[in-house]
Structure 1
Amino acid sequence: MMHLKDIIIIQNKIDLIQENEARRQHEDIQRFITNTNAEGAPIVPVSAQLKYNIDVLCEYIVKKIPIPERDFVSPPRMIVIRSFDVNKPGSDYDGMKGGVAGGSILQGVLKVGHIIEIRPGITSKDEHGDTKCTPIYTRITSLYAEQNELQFAVPGGLIGIGTSMDPTLTRGDRLVGQVLGEIGTLPDVYVELEVSFQLLTRLIGVKTKETERQMRVSKLIKGEVLMLNIGSMSTGAMVIGVKKDMMKVKLTLPVCTNIGEKVAISRRVDRHWRLIGRGQIEAGTTIPIPPPPSLP
């Protein structure tokens, strides 16, 4: 679905099975990837716990995966994949630290001391029941990669960003799905989207009780509720219109994203969300964002 060209398949935990079982699983993987763009990709048996074949895996990564191009010039932007409060219960006010956001920088460079914007920020309903968003503005107080404290951070890997914001805003992954970056440079926030889509022919890993065969994906229906994954955001989406390979959806949560962004589409099947297709954002309805306050 993602049109990946460079693929390495890792067969992990081989230390837990016999050699003949490992060979059988290897053959199962080869059958599974037949007639896909993963066909012919190296399958590396490893044990991450015991570090078996990790050197071989690293060699494959270096030789097979080209080094991605990094953009250090554009305004910085990061998608948040986790957020938390590092303060222990009962901490004194003077010793409290601001909320922490973690994620991957997509472009640009973040520096300690920079004032940043987080969208959509705090969402609420107005007196008419319409969604409104108030972006969060905060200062970067620290940057971490693994256990290393940084003065600036660039694209690639996971970065932890310490901020001056109220830690209750970051507690329990509350900022997951938000976008962080330079003030005034972030994408619009959408409440409705028009998405061009392609459905899978079958549900992967799902079997019917009657035939024990993998279920076929049925067409989208107006009024059904799907789940869309956009960046790191997961949101419910009610289908309010569908025509051929285009659908219009109303989002449960507002999303900060770009036109042209890729979307994963899931449907509720047997009490589980199952991937049924992919899409691309073509248009949408935005929320007005209030201008930033005067900041020191």
Structure 2
Amino acid sequence: HAGGLCGIATPMDPVSTKADELSGQVMAREGELPPVWKDLDLELELLDNMVSGGENAPEKVRPLQPNEMLMVNSATATSVGTVSSIKGSKATLQLRLPICAKSGSRITLSRRVGSRWRLIGHGSITG
């Protein structure tokens, strides 16, 4: 169920798992792991208004800009990426930390506004 914990016995050195250092990582049998992406080609759908908390009026989502930094979430993986190209609803991001995900996986995009990340859209990995 969502939010549950899972314990797995492995021969890993406990020092590599301290302080949730493996949080967001993917584990699979050898040869069955999805691809690891350093550059993401995405099919995107931006929201009309930015998701924000509080009493502020909803803010319109601006189109993506070249070299803009965005936060990308795919399943449990989180990374920050820089927009390297945009063409219509397609974009390419260069990720600071690679993520492991299947082609076609859903992602969410957030933009930094002040000191917070605000959800601005979603999409899927195309390559």
Q: Does TM, normalized by the shorter one, top 0.5? A: yes
Counterpart AA for 1:196: E
Measure how far apart 1:162 and its partner are: 2.6
TM-score by length of 2: 0.91
SS of residue paired to 2:80: strand
Give the structure with the higher percent helix. Answer: 1
Structure 1 counterpart of 2:18, one-letter code: R
Measured in 2, the distance between the counterparts of 1:158 and 1:173 equals 13
The unaligned stretches of length 5 or more in structure 2 are: none
**CA 1:220/1:206 → structure 2, altered by over 3 Å: closer, same or farther?**
farther
- Where does residue 196 of structure 1 map in the other structure? 43
Alignment of 1:43-54 (within 5 A): none
- Aligned residue in 1 for 2:8: 161
2:52 is paired with a residue of what secondary structure? strand
Matches for 1:24-103 after TM superposition, within 5 Å:
none
Does residue 26 of structure 2 align to residue 179 of structure 1? Answer: yes
Rg (Cα) greater in structure: 1
CA shift for structure 1 position 206? 5.0
Root-mean-square deviation (Å): 1.9
Q: Which has the higher relative contact order, 1 or 2, with Cα contacts under 8 A spaced 6 or more apart? A: 2
Q: Could you tell me how far apart the structure 2 residues matched to 1:204 and 1:190 are?
A: 27
CA contact (8 A) 2:39 2:93 kept: yes
- Residue 259 of structure 1 and its aligned partner are, at CA, apart by 0.4
Letter in 1 for 2:28: G
Runs (5+) with no aligned partner, structure 1: 1-103, 105-156, 284-296
Q: CA deviation at 1:248?
A: 0.2
CA distance in 2, matches of 1:223, 1:159: 38
Tell me, in whole angstroms, the C-alpha distance in 2 between the residues paired with 1:219 and 1:232: 26
Check the 8 A contact 2:46/2:61 in 1, yes or no.
Answer: yes
Hey, what does 2:115 align to over in structure 1?
A: 271
1:202-217 to structure 2, matched below 5 A, reads 202-205=49-52, 212-217=56-61
Matching of residue 253 in structure 1 with residue 97 in structure 2: yes
Q: CA deviation at 1:213?
A: 1.9
Q: Is the 8 A contact 2:78 2:99 kept in 1?
A: no
User: Size of the alignment, in residue pairs?
Assistant: 126
Aligned to 1:83: none
The normalised TM-score by structure 1 is: 0.40
Instruction: For residue 158 of structure 1, report the CA deviation from its aligned partner.
Output: 3.8
- Give the 3-state SS of the residue equivalent to 2:44 in structure 1: strand
How far 1:270 moved relative to its partner? 1.5
1:224 offset after TM fit, Å? 0.4
Post-superposition Cα deviations, 1:3-60, rounded to whole Å, max 9, x if no partner, equal xxxxxxxxxxxxxxxxxxxxxxxxxxxxxxxxxxxxxxxxxxxxxxxxxxxxxxxxxx
| Pair 1:207–1:222, CA change in 2 (3 A) | farther
8 A Cα contact 2:52 2:118, kept in partner: no
> 2:32 corresponds to which letter in structure 1?
T
Secondary structure of the corresponding residue to residue 238 of structure 1? strand
Runs of 4+ in 1 over 4 A off after TM superposition: none
The alpha-carbon deviation at position 173 of structure 1 amounts to 1.2
